[in-house]
Amino acid sequence: MPNMFDMIRQAQMLKEKMAQFQEELEKQSFTGSAGGGAVTVTLNGKHEVRKVLVDPKVMASGDADMLQDLIQAAVNDAGRQVNEKLKTEMGKMAGGLGLPGLF
């Protein structure tokens, strides 16, 4: 059975690593797309939209419903990328603690 002080030390190290990772994640960009690249949306690691690009052909079509759907799909695609990165990295960090069921 692990020493209680070792567990506390590991938890503190994990907390520090998580804070550092969160800072790094916020600086990264994740780009999602929809409609074969007709719409691309770039998010940062905080899920904040940083850029939206729409192919002029899509806007010229005048189909607002389609454009809305493409933007939504592109945002969701980028958001999944952020979440996957978060899940992967958090799993790596928590894995060192040997706590079952975390990530």
CA dist., res. 95 & res. 42, Å (int): 30
Architecture of domain 24-85: 2-Layer Sandwich (3.30)
Domain ranges for the chain, please list them. Answer: 24-85
Per-residue model confidence as pLDDT tens for the chain (103 residues) = 568 888 888 888 888 888 888 899 899 999 999 999 999 999 999 999 999 999 999 989 999 999 999 999 999 999 999 999 988 888 887 665 555 554 4
Report pTM: 0.76
Query: How far does Cα 91 stand from its chain's mean position?
Result: 14
CB 96 within 8 A of CB 10: yes
Sequence-distant (6+) residues with CB within 8 A of 39 are 33, 52, 53, 54, 55, 58, 67, 70, 71, 73, 74
